[in-house]
């Protein structure tokens, strides 16, 4: 596990973004944990989240020219990641889309830098892959090239096939997905924490039932 992955999980627990209990997922599964990046909802936590994204992106070695944040959750994620990357010596432009085209002023469906070159999509998690698919279409229609996706947490569980939702996105679009942390990191983290043995057992059981193994 990368050091930033461990620190990110600890931070997510501290901010109550990562919770344990019983939660129903979009797929209708009862999950023993829940992750809601929308709860990084103040300046300090959003700034720190951007730092984690930047570290994961730079560690991945994905070549990119700019960032794209799909509306709405991806907008603050892309902005905070761009600022964090700049602070690490990698200043890149960013852009995000509108849900509805603007018919006055500058018009158009995107805000920020023009989409061009290799574009890295920034999102929170991948469940059905709808957000990524829409982002890829926007990027390609502008004549740019989607080069990857950065997310906060990879749950490493089956999507619509025997592959994980992340693997389905990688296969469908031919682009890599990098996560700040994944389910293996979470399990490794729980193994080292006192008083978390029950949570560890429940997450392990859930992984055995719905998870996939990454090579």
Q: Report domain extents, the chain.
A: 3-210
- What is 3-210's CATH number? 3.40.50.2020
Closest by CA position to 90, among listed 113, 58, 116, 118: 58
List, in order, residues 6 or more apart from 38 with CB less than 8 Å away.
73, 124
Residue 212 confidence (pLDDT): 87
The sign one gets for the Cα dihedral 73, 76, 82, 84 is negative
Catalytic, 104? Answer: yes
Q: Catalytic residue, from 104, 140, 160, 163: name it.
A: 104
Look up 102 and say whether it is catalytic.
yes
Interstrand relation of 18-24 and 30-35 (parallel, antiparallel or unpaired)? antiparallel
pLDDT of residue 96: 96
User: How many other CB atoms are found less than 10 A from the CB of residue 2?
Assistant: 13
Q: What is the pLDDT of residue 127?
A: 79
pLDDT of residue 106: 52
What is the pLDDT at residue 103?
56
Residues written for the chain: 215
Mean pLDDT by 10-residue block, N- to C-terminus, for the chain (215 residues)? 95 96 88 94 97 98 97 94 98 91 62 96 88 94 97 92 92 96 96 94 95 69
Provide the pLDDT for residue 203.
Answer: 97
Q: Read off the pTM.
A: 0.92
CA distances, 59 to each of 2, 121, 178, 179 (Å): 9, 16, 9, 10
pLDDT given at position 70? 94
Cα(203)–Cα(193) distance, integer angstroms: 14
Q: Which of 24, 102, 160, 214 is catalytic?
A: 102
Handedness of CA 53, 39, 83, 78 (dihedral sign): positive
Cβ contact 156:211 at 8 Å: yes
Distance CA 157, CA 166 (A): 9
| Residue 33 neighbours by CB under 8 Å, 6+ apart | 18, 19, 20, 21, 23, 186, 199, 203, 206
| Per-residue model confidence (pLDDT) at position 101 | 62
SS3 state of residue 120 = strand
């Amino acid at each position: 596990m990368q050091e930033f992955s461990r620190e990110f999980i600890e931070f997510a627990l501290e901010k109550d973004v990562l919770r344990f209990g019983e939660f129903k997922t979009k797929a209708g599964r009862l999950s023993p944990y829940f992750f809601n990046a929308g709860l990084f909802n103040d300046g300090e936590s959003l700034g720190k989240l951007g730092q984690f994204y930047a570290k994961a992106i730079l560690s991945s070695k994905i070549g990119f020219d700019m960032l794209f944040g799909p509306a709405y959750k991806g907008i603050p994620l892309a902005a905070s990641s761009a600022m964090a990357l700049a602070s690490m010596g990698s200043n890149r432009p960013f852009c995000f889309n509108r849900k509805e085209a603007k018919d006055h002023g500058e018009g158009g469906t995107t805000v920020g830098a023009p989409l061009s070159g290799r574009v890295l999509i920034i999102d929170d998690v991948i469940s059905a892959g709808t957000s990524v698919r829409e982002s890829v279409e926007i990027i390609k229609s502008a004549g740019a090239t989607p080069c990857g996706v950065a997310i906060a947490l990879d749950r490493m569980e089956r999507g619509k096939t025997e592959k994980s939702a992340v693997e389905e996105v990688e296969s469908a679009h031919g682009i890599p997905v990098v996560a700040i942390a994944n389910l293996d990191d979470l399990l490794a983290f729980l193994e080292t924490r006192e008083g978390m043995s029950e949570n560890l057992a429940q997450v392990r059981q859930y992984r055995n039932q719905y998870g996939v193994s990454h090579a």
